């Protein structure tokens, strides 16, 4: 994990965010200096004259008029102009270097933001090389990854502070952003456009891997789900097809709805429920039985499975590596 503040953006881990960090520090330091200087000017100005009192004293004091003071304004404005001009030029320069999308990206992703999860589509050279995952984006280290953003329902915003600034995912229009991780790591992302009840719990993770590891992962993701090996798994598969298949897809089975996340490789993910819960058997059971406890308002309904059904379901789901 990248440090104690997973969403802090004063440090970066990728080229796009890295371009912005020095500019951020520059405007931050200029701003702090300005506050300190103005604060000092006000403080000293006030302390210079010690008459402290109420109405009587105010009206008794003479109306003085020494110096016209206009040069304060001119000096102030000129001094303000210098850091502002630098900021303006720097901004335009930085914008030019990070705004445009890479012309020939090494990897192209289509990310669709839904209430409240992320659908990630990987494009291969052929349709059979194309697959979808949810809430976890794997990218190869040091490669430029173009992300096309789509709004699935309402407006969301895609943000991985250590790698890239925000870009909105707006229904009816396609926005683009790009990522390039400088080193391997797990970088937290978060929706930052208010999108309803569970806006707070609409996270995801970007996992940057060396190219070879990424290719292995990709190959694994292309596999369809294995057939059930035990009677319990078979009963579990039946449940998945009958119940979960209303919303979810498991490639290689008849569960093929794309209303919710693709579950084909569910167990390969680090987290579930849009990066809200760790992916372990306990959390998974809890989530299936009562999603509303973790994410009130989530579109996944409570399942009310019997103990036996839950055990069967888990037996099957755990094969989805």
Partner 1 sequence: MRQAVFRRPEIGDDNEMLRARLHAIWETAPGLKGWLGTVDHKEIGIRYIITAFVLLALGGIEALVIRLQLAGPDLHLLTPEQYNEFFSTHGMTMIFLYASPILSGFSNYLWPLLLGSRDMAFPRMNAFSYWVFLGSAIFLYSGFLVGAGPNDGWFNYVPFAEKDYNPGFNQDFYSLGMIFLGISTTVGAANFIVTAFKTRAPGMSINRIPIMIWGTLTASAANLVVVPAVSLAFFLLWMDRQFGTDFFQPAGGGQPLLWQHLFWIFGHPWVYAIVLPAMGMVSDGLPVFCRRPLVGHSLVALATVSVMILGFGVWVHHMFATGLPGLSLSFFSGASIIITFPSAVTVFAWIATIWLGRPVITTAFLYFASMILLFVIGGVSGFMTASVPVDWQLTDTYFVVAHIHYVLIGINVFPVVGATYFWFPKMTGKLMDERLGRWGFWTMFAGFNIGFLPMHLTGLLGMPRRIWTYPAGMGWSTLNLVTTLGSFLFAVGILIFFFNVIKSLRSGAPAGANPWGGSSLEWSVSSPPPPYNFAVIPTVASRHPLWEEALDESVARTSLTRGMTLDQGKEALHTSPMDAEPERIVATPEDNVAPFLLTVAMMVLFYGMLLKLWIVIGLGGLGCFAALLMWLWPRRNLLERAPPDRKEPVHG
Rounded-to-integer distance, Cα 321 and Cα 319, Å: 6
Q: Are the CB atoms for 264 and 249 separated by under 8 Å?
A: yes
- Nearest-approach distance from CB 47 to partner 1, in angstroms: 9
Q: What are phi and psi of 113, to 5 degrees?
A: -95, 130
Residue among 183, 227, 297, 301 that touches partner 1 (CB under 8 A): 297
Q: Which is nearer to partner 1, 95 or 229 (CB)?
A: 95
> Is residue 48 close enough to count as binding partner 1 by CB under 8 A?
yes
Task: Give the residue among 307, 219, 221 at the shortest CA–CA distance from 269.
Answer: 221
Instruction: Count other C-beta atoms under 10 Å from residue 242's C-beta.
Output: 11
Residue among 136, 180, 193, 262 that touches partner 1 (CB under 8 A): 193
Residue among 133, 135, 190, 233 that touches partner 1 (CB under 8 A): 190
> Is residue 153 close enough to count as binding partner 1 by CB under 8 A?
yes
> Is residue 163 close enough to count as binding partner 1 by CB under 8 A?
no
Residue among 124, 129, 171, 302 that touches partner 1 (CB under 8 A): 171
Q: Which is nearer to partner 1, 30 or 132 (CB)?
A: 30
> Is residue 17 close enough to count as binding partner 1 by CB under 8 A?
yes
Q: Structure tokens of 254?
A: 């008849």
Residue among 246, 296, 301, 308 that touches partner 1 (CB under 8 A): 296
Rounded-to-integer distance, Cα 17 and Cα 287, Å: 34
Torsion over CA: 227, 231, 237, 238 (sign): positive
Residue among 82, 200, 246, 256 that touches partner 1 (CB under 8 A): 200
Q: Are the CB atoms for 174 and 198 separated by under 8 Å?
A: no
Q: Structure tokens of 74?
A: 């001119």
> Is residue 23 close enough to count as binding partner 1 by CB under 8 A?
yes
Stretch near partner 1 under the rule CB under 8 A, chosen from 33-41, 126-134, 136-144, 280-288 = 33-41
CB under 8 A, 24+ apart: contacts of 121-128: 122/218, 122/221, 124/222, 128/222
Instruction: Count other C-beta atoms under 10 Å from residue 108's C-beta.
Output: 15
Residue among 109, 129, 155, 249 that touches partner 1 (CB under 8 A): 155
- Nearest-approach distance from CB 255 to partner 1, in angstroms: 26
What part of residues 247-286 is at the interface with partner 1 (CB under 8 A)? Answer: 276
Rounded-to-integer distance, Cα 13 and Cα 26, Å: 19
Task: Give the residue among 22, 73, 66, 74 at the shortest CA–CA distance from 48.
Answer: 66
Residue among 9, 121, 218, 232 that touches partner 1 (CB under 8 A): 9
Q: Which is nearer to partner 1, 166 or 218 (CB)?
A: 166
User: What is the separation of C-alpha 67 from the centre of its chain, rounded to a whole number of angstroms?
Assistant: 55
What part of residues 50-109 is at the interface with partner 1 (CB under 8 A)? Answer: 51-55, 57-70, 72-73, 75-77, 80-81, 84, 87-88, 90-92, 94-96, 98-100
Residue among 39, 227, 278, 281 that touches partner 1 (CB under 8 A): 39
Rounded-to-integer distance, Cα 241 and Cα 235, Å: 10
> Is residue 46 close enough to count as binding partner 1 by CB under 8 A?
yes
């Amino acid at each position: 994990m990248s440090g104690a503040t997973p969403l802090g953006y004063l440090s970066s881990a990728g080229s796009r965010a890295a371009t912005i960090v020095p500019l951020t520090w520059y405007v931050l330091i200029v701003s702090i200096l300005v506050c300190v200087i103005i604060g000092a000017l006000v403080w000293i100005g006030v302390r210079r004259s010690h008459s402290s009192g109420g109405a009587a004293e105010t009206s008794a004091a003479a109306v003085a008029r020494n110096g016209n003071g206009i040069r304060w304004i001119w000096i102030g404005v000129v001094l303000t102009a210098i850091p502002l001009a630098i900021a303006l030029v720097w901004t335009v320069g930085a914008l030019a270097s990070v705004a445009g999308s890479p012309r020939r990206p090494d990897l192209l992703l289509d990310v669709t933001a839904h209430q409240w999860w992320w659908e990630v589509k990987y494009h291969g050279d052929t349709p059979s090389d194309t697959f979808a995952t949810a809430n976890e984006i794997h990218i190869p280290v040091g490669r430029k990854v173009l992300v096309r953003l789509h709004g699935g329902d309402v407006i969301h915003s895609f943000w991985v502070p250590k790698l890239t600034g925000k870009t909105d995912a707006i229904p009816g229009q396609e926005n683009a952003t790009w990522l390039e991780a400088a080193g391997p790591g797990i970088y937290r992302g978060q929706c930052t456009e208010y999108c309803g009840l569970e806006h707070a719990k609409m996270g995801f993770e970007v996992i940057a891997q060396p190219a070879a590891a990424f290719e292995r992962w990709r190959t694994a993701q292309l596999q369809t789900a294995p057939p059930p090996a035990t009677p319990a798994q078979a009963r579990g598969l039946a449940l998945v097809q009958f119940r979960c298949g209303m919303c979810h897809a498991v490639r290689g089975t008849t569960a093929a709805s794309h209303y919710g996340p693709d579950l084909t490789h569910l167990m390969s993910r680090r987290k579930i429920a849009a990066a809200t819960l760790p992916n372990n058997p306990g959390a998974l059971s809890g989530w299936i039985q009562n999603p509303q406890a973790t994410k009130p308002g989530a579109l996944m309904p409570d399942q009310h499975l019997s103990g036996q059904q839950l055990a069967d379901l888990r037996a099957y789901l755990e094969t989805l590596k």
